[in-house]
A and B are shown apart, each in its own frame.
Chain A
Amino acid sequence: MRLRRYLNGFNSVARRDFISGAAKGLLGLTTVPWMTKFAQAQEAGKIPLAAATARNVIYCYMAGGMSHLDTFDLKPGAATQGPMKAIKTNADGVLVSQHFPLLAKHMDKVAVINSMNSTQGAHAQGRYFMHTSYQLRGTIRHPSMGAWLENMRGRVNTKLPAHVVVGGGAQMATNGFFDASLTPLPVGDPTSGLANSQRVEHVTAERFEHRIHRLEDMNKAFRDKFKARELDDYSKVYQEAMRLMDSKDLESFDIDKESQTVRDAYGSGRFGQGCLLARRLVERGVRFVEVVSGGWDTHSENFDQMADLCPPIDRGLSALLADLDARGMLDETLVILATEFGRTPDIVEDRSLGRNHYPRAFSCLMAGGGIKGGRTYGKTDAEGREVIEDIVRVQDFNATMAHALGLPLEFKMYSPSGRPFTVAHDGKPVKALF
């Protein structure tokens, strides 16, 4: 079974996290009422929500730290640019690197933020910060944006999870201290995990029934032995999984339903297929889909690696923007490209032209969902070292996202230990982007 093989790729801790995540994700399907407590309170007029320009998010995450100088903050002629070339785009004055020729035709839809700034220079800390707006601490887990969104706004389609993560092994998107039912549903691999599983061919309906019955027996025996309360929830998980299987909702996860031409247009790799899956899911009412692309930690051979890393993003993101636009979905779907930090302007020669971690200045993208495209926001100096205009801190970036989604930035939610937290910590939204 492919899933098993996929899971075996993780170390044991990651595997356990993934598995319990999967269970909780399914659990979420059964136990979350169609409106959460928060949404009910909001409906009753207790919590003011702002008008939203976006209702969904497709959050493309470049894990490892994407070099800003080699993607969206080009410095032609500067010594720090190295051999990377800039190309023009269909938006006046917006340059992208030579590896984004397809995206260059869609930059009229995209706002490039070149003044990102983080305080976290290590991967785990940087990712955590980017996802939650809070620093990684031993004592508490903070929720990420998808969980805030579901908690505050409820689901659009109650039969599907509100929050899905595609292709990310590491646990970055998280329910944090929120109820376990707000855990994102992880989808390992958009192609082999769902559509092409060999099981489909050789599990006949009969054998499947048999298997289910055995599971039920085990379940019953187990239940008799341990009368734990949560057990009922877990057997619901599995009933829900069965219900889901009959349902046409599961088709939402099946990118085989898309024509081959469309699949090819998105690119055959995980990222492109993940973007296609994200579009399918959002179209059916999933609110937050994170698509993870790994490998951006280019300490050595930065320029050779970029030549491999960028094209799938170029293709996947272009196809996604064109597709969302034609369907009338782009104006309500915020498309994000984010990463934990940039990479050093100084090129490390003794590592075959590598670049190291660089949180002081980096670049992220926003498109759709009410964002005004075709321009850059913020600036770094001539060599891409320091932000010199319109600094956007990580929490400001997240506050901007929350603002687009109409989430109240001041509203406090309390952790079990009674400490107050807000959706983007102390972030201020960049209203100039709308």
Chain B
Amino acid sequence: MRRVWLCGLGVLAFGLALSLSPRARAAEPVDFAMEVLPLLEERCFKCHAASFRGRKKKPKGGLRLDGSGWILRGGNGGRAVVSRKPEVSLLHARISLPDSHDDVMPPDGDVFAKAEIDLIERWVREGANFGSWKGADGPKTVVPTKTDPETATTPRKVTPSIDRYAIYRQLAQDLKPASMGALKALRAAGARVTSVVPGSPLLRVEFMQDAAMVTDATLKILTPLRKHIGMLSLDSTKITDNAATILGTLPHLVRLDLQRTKITDKGIEALAKTPPRHLRRLNLYGTGVTDQSVAAMTRFTGLRRVFLWKTKVSSAGVQQLRSMLPQCEVSAQRILPTPEQPSENGNRRRRRN
């Protein structure tokens, strides 16, 4: 009896906890790079880009969709997108045709689902804003840049497994353990502090649960531990370009996570003036950095991995980074599967799963 009651209380609390989840999702504008681009990449680039899977292509109908400049210029039939006017935007018009129509795009494979057409329509209606995305250089440039479609089907080299902690062992060699007082202060500021490798004096510092409270000022507490910081995550914190002043003083920084912060080219350039010598991994996804940062980043010669998805770095910039830092693996895209089509196989037994 008692047990039943307790359980009831638990489940009631649980149910309430679940049902009150905040759901009010503001009608956010469509994010081109995140929502529309993957569709075009997957379904259109094959015929409407300067190159596809590393092979040069002649864009069909004179239309390139792999750069914002090209999309705006349009193909043989004129502009592909007219801001706020989906009804006269060829791109929208050609994907909205019925499956049986001769002119429907893509001509091969599955036509777009209603939700996808609606999404693109909404994007055009909202002003055909490309956000941070630029893609291949636009029509005006004399030498068209080679775009790098980097489709998910490009086989990636299997890198031999390396001891990813060797560097930490090396850096920790002459390091004494951090003082308890400094560690305490760091934890009191909401940081999660662990050893990069069990037993190592080098630290991994991250602000996971209180990220939103962390500002440039917070970072001052890192100073007494500057030699001890091997990994630092500022993911989703409120830091700005000014953080670079402190980040530049961390001599043993190997991994730096700045994703989803307000860091810009200015911050990266400032950091590049005194680049942490051992920096191997830099995460900038979801920041506003542009090709300007690419130039600065080439000074981080030890880099082995960079994340640039959802930034303003163009594919030419990615290409440049790859050629300047050939040892560095650059992740710049996320190619999700295109949404499923309603099954034409309606009579097949559907199982509940």
- Taking Cβ atoms with an 8 Å cutoff, the residues of A that contact B are 1, 3-4, 7, 16, 19-20, 22-27, 42, 45, 48-51, 53, 90-92, 102, 105-106, 108-109, 156-160, 193-200, 203, 208, 211-212, 215, 218-219, 222, 226, 228, 231, 234, 237-238, 241-242, 244-245, 248-251, 253-254, 256-257, 259-262, 264-271, 284-285, 293-295, 304-305, 307-309, 311-312, 315, 318-319, 322-323, 325-328, 331, 370, 372-375, 406, 434
Contacts and interface: CB of A to CB of B under 8 A. Distances in A.
B338 A222 contact: no
A197 B16 CA distance: 10
Contacts of A102: 337
Contact of B9 (A1, A53, A219, A406): A219
B339 to A, nearest CB: 4
A203 B353 contact: no
Nearest to A187: B18
Interface string B4-15: 011111111111
B307 interface: yes
A161 to B, nearest CB: 12
Contact of B21 (A109, A156, A253, A375): A253
Interface string B163-194: 01100000000000000000000000000100
6 smallest beta-carbon distances between A and B, as pairs? A23-B10, A199-B19, A326-B334, A265-B336, A264-B339, A241-B13
Interface of B: 2-3, 5-23, 25, 28, 31, 34-35, 38-39, 115-116, 119, 152-156, 158-161, 164-165, 192, 197-199, 208-209, 257, 259, 281, 283, 285, 305, 307, 309-310, 331, 333-340, 348-353
Nearest to A268: B340
B287 to A, nearest CB: 12
B334 A323 contact: yes
A197 B20 CA distance: 8
Contact of A315 (B7, B14, B259, B337): B337
Given A102-B337, A237-B10, A375-B158, 9 more contacts: A19-B11, A26-B13, A194-B21, A237-B9, A285-B209, A315-B337, A322-B337, A326-B309, A327-B285
Interface centre among A90, A248, A261, A269 (most CB of B within 10 A): A261
A343 to B, nearest CB: 16
* Interface residue SS majority, chain A: helix
A327 B309 contact: yes
B22 A251 contact: yes
A42 B10 contact: no
A406 B198 contact: yes
A310 B295 CA distance: 45
Nearest to A258: B25
Contacts of A193: 18
